Chains A and B, each alone.
Chain A
Amino acid sequence: MRSFAYVSAPDVDTAVRALADQPGAKPLAGGTNLVDLMRQDVERPATVVDISTLPLTEVEVLPDGGLRIGALVRNSHLAAHPAVRTRYPVLAQALLSGASGQIRNMATVGGNLLQRTRCLYFVDATAACNKREPGSGCDAAGGFHRAAAVLGASEHCVATHPSDMAVALAALDATVEVHSVRGSRTIPLVEFHRLPGDRPERETVLEPGELIVAVELPAPIAGRSAYRKVRDRASFAFALVSVAAALEVRDGVVTAARVALGGVAAKPWRAIEAERVLTGAPATEETFRRAAEAELAHATGLPGNEFKIELAKRTIVAVLRGLGVPE
């Protein structure tokens, strides 16, 4: 690991000032991704700003029925929170399906959003990767790309965002609150991550010096929600495909639908087309399949990952079927 300057920030103001003063400085919270990538020489910050003791660890139920989640709430604590378990089960399930018990105890909400892709060629400093080294090429396209994207990819990058939590947050209409020395702003979660285009090294809309301080959820829609993750082994593996969905059905008709996909794109993929088909349609297998077909209509695969297109469709149908059945 390369040498770096270590700054411990006691409060948010100190943290954002340190991030502003030191271009290229990285905030360090749980460390589960950043420390690993620094060790592999993929991340090379000159300065690390330790934000792990900032007072951003509260989960607060808001007067409007929503939830405000501090950026440093640990993944395990959020999953176990009564309000999340009872009112946002899709979020609890997504969090619990990610990583391992040890890592969930370390990983934070803010860090989870900012984690980097697990594309094998991104984490291998000797490989060509436009995300890690702009202009160097993409070894994934002609290499082992089972986990690669089938939606929103480009010729420059086929990496996927690895988060489970963020997929649930995308379905729940979450917003991300960020602070910097210039002030604060709120970004819809679905606009927080970028698609690669010809600049795959730019993964989020965060400006230099901006720090995530909280994530907010509006009150959940009526009806039920669930997260389903399909992966190569039953636990402690990244998603090939995942689906977060919330469905409200009245008299056999879908009155509200929220669907997001994981493991298929460089961002948590809000399934707008699927939602359009679902809303107002009868809650039937045929509707669910039409919704899945609509969402994946423009998906494109590589030889090693095109199976994920049909897998995503079937997983969408399976999750909606589970939610659409009357309790």
Chain B
Amino acid sequence: MVDVELRVNNEVHRVEFDPRVSLLDALREELGLTGTKKGCDQGACGACTVLVDGERIASCLALAVQYGGREITTIEGIEHPLQRAFIAADGFQCGYCTPGQVCSALGMLAEHRAGAPSAVTEDLTATDIPLTEAEIKERMSGNLCRCGAYDGIATAIREVAS
């Protein structure tokens, strides 16, 4: 067992972990923060996306012991206009992927504000990259939605970004 200090949504938790426990399972099973969802459990669907020091990661591929002392933000710690935009734009149906979509979108918008390029960015040397429909879709490709609410998701993100 390994003693870890997990900082989640501005609260500090001291927890003993078997090193096999993923950050996702730690959040859900140990801390009761079930907003973060387990979809594929292999990094392919994005339902488990959380923010660590402001950057989006797949918490299913992260071992909890590696994230002691880092600032972790889950959907429970987020209050942002993007959430209302998701409702207004019908950015979900069943809602299972939504916490991951919201965390991922906030991380993505921060990456874009910092000038990070994507695979569809035409001018790699530009730091002020227009957040086009193509850019949003490429940058959000790590989040799947079985209900197919992609148009609403992209609309919600575009509205909050502008």
Contacts and interface: CB of A to CB of B under 8 A. Distances in A.
Contacts of B66: 28, 31, 50, 52
B116 interface: yes
Contacts of A97: 119
B118 interface: yes
Interface stretch (A85-93, A141-149, A168-176, A287-295): A85-93
Contacts of B33: none
For the complex of A and B, the 6 pairs showing the least CB-CB separation, nearest first, are A100-B142, A235-B141, A6-B19, A96-B119, A80-B116, A236-B141
Contacts of A40: 42
A96 B42 contact: no
A3 interface: yes
Contacts of A92: 117, 124
A30 B141 CA distance: 20
Given A48-B19, A76-B116, A85-B124, A100 B62 contact: no
Interface in B81-137: 104, 107-108, 111, 114-119, 121, 124-125, 137
A36 B42 contact: yes
Given A35-B22, A50-B66, A101 B117 contact: no
Contact of B142 (A28, A50, A101): A101
Contacts of B43: 32, 36, 100, 102-103
B42, B49, B104: which has the most chain A beta carbons within 10 Å?
B42
B20 A80 contact: no
Contacts of A52: 66
A96 B118 CA distance: 6
A79 interface: yes
B12 interface: no
A187 B119 CA distance: 29
Given A79-B116, A85-B117, A106-B61, A101 B104 contact: yes
Contact of A105 (B57, B114, B141): B57
A1 interface: yes
B19 A235 contact: no
Contact of A106 (B2, B58, B138): B58
